[in-house]
Amino acid sequence: MLKFVRAAFVAGATMMAAHGAYADTAIKAVMHSPLRLTDPHATTAYITTWHGYMIYDTLLATDADNKIQPQMLEKWEVSPDGKTYTMTLRDGLKWHDGKPVTADDCVASIKRWAAGDGMGRTLLRFTDKIEPIDDKQFRIVMKEPTDLALRALSKPTGTAAFMMPKRIAEMPIGQPITDMTGSGPFKVAEFKPGVKTVYVKNTDYVPRKEPASALAGGKVVNVDRVVWEVMPDALTTANALLNGEIDFVEQFPYDLLPMVEGNKDLKEETLSPVGYFTMYRFNFKHPPFDNKKIRQAAMYAVNQEDVMKALVGNPKYWQTCASLWGCGTPLQSDIGKDMTVPGNIEKARALLKEAGYDNTPILIMHATDVGTLSAQPVVIAQALRKAGFNVNLQAMDWQSVATRRASKAAPKDGGWNIHNTNWYATDIMDPVRSAPAAASGDNAWFGWPEFAQIEELRTKFALSSDPAEQRKIADEVQRIGVDEGLYVPLGQMSVPTVYSSKLSGLVHAPVFAFWNVKKAP
């Protein structure tokens, strides 16, 4: 019997070698969060966006110099009056079911994406029409001359403008997508929510001829499959990497880095060039943060250094950051830093007393399963309690936070008062691109602030192509935004990725997908 099993195994291995050697060309990765939500138009959760880049594609993309490049497009042309953009799809684009990608698909996808994205909704406000011309061409006609269409369709994360077949794109945003047919470099072979996702190479995918550059250029897949594994905790993940059971850890815990230092079989690298901006958000709909002075009291209570020391520790990987537009970005600003950076408990207590705070409980959502999100709520809770707030810190996993933050119910009925998140800094680098900068009430990002003056300034920014004017507008939004507590900066960090030295060709980009990566035997 043993001989029979061994013979069968050898025969099977020979067949695998003849058909692509799947066992030898699989990358096993642990990402920053388990994948549960799979509709990349319906959530800003980064893990869903990362999933989107694996199986979908975008019309435009930004390269390593943050310049806009064609991706699914062969080219775009702009009319002399600056209002009409004619988009031409490149040859060879197919959906995973073998059907060709058409202009109709793209028009439907843009409309679906824009309905759920802050920058997309801004684009629609200034758009006269989006319509197909033929199977390979469509046009976007703006109401005024602006390059907003290019900026919006190329934004890398948040909710990126992924293209889908028309039959899927016509589904409303609130209806979960179960059909994961895309046109991207990978296909989904297996999906167990929160447990495992297996991607296989899309052999019909035709990469661009240019070399990969951030999210632009050729998406050449050099492996047969990529497996996103889920581990129970950080230590188990680190040991699995050390033992060769997995190949890649997207966000390696800072406190465990000594475990891998000096190990020749592993490499540590920061793949995101600018880093992550960490922040928290008030719920403006419910007491007590419908009161400006109480928001300001909370902002004064928190010291950024306390947050970043607890979150990261090693100062090599973090900095304080007062800017709503992130640090190391063109519009970086220190306006209002006294309220958001150093902390001032006495000022916080005085404002709380002045506002007549009545001990209303503060429900803070605490994601415990994502290392780069778990420390902030604890430090915020400690600071707010010290200032005199009544705090209820509720532990849950990140996907529960991502779901619950969409609830407009009162905190006692399944809503919330404060939640924290991280953004790749280029996601929030200006008042239009930054999803939490929207101040349009019920149509704004979770928390739903409503400030007409901010919306007027964001409109001016969207229509401007003058860097000096954009700088002036961004500074004014920063001034008002900090004063009102639009969203609260907590600092900025770089996150180390640790991976097997067998891997090469990893792309430096805001998103980590697995094209261009090779795995040595």
288-303 pLDDT per residue, tens: 999 999 999 999 999 9
Higher pLDDT: 174 or 124? It is 124
The C-alpha atoms of residue 464 and residue 307 are separated, in whole angstroms, by 36
pLDDT at position 17: 38
Per residue in 42-96, pLDDT tens? 988 889 999 999 999 999 999 999 899 999 999 999 999 999 999 999 999 999 9
User: Residues 196-212: what's their mean pLDDT?
Assistant: 98
At 24 the pLDDT is 63
Say yes or no to pLDDT of 400 above 90. Answer: yes
The CA distance from 124 to 58, in Å, is 18
In degrees and rounded to multiples of 5, residue 397 shows phi and psi of -85, 165
DSSP 211: P
Residue 89, token pair as written in the block: 């799809």
pLDDT in tens, 125-159: 999 999 999 999 999 999 999 999 999 999 998 89
Domain pair 58-169 / 276-493, same fold: no
CATH class (in words) of the domain with range 58-169: alpha beta
| Range from 39-43, 80-84, 317-321 carrying the lowest mean pLDDT | 39-43
∠ CA(44), CA(460), CA(446), 5° rounding?
A: 25
Residue 23 has pLDDT above 60, yes or no: no
State phi, psi for 226 to the nearest 5 degrees.
-130, 130
In the block, tokens 């905790």 appear at 233
CATH 3.10.105.10 fits 276-493, yes or no: yes
- Ordered by start, the domain boundaries in the chain are 58-169, 276-493
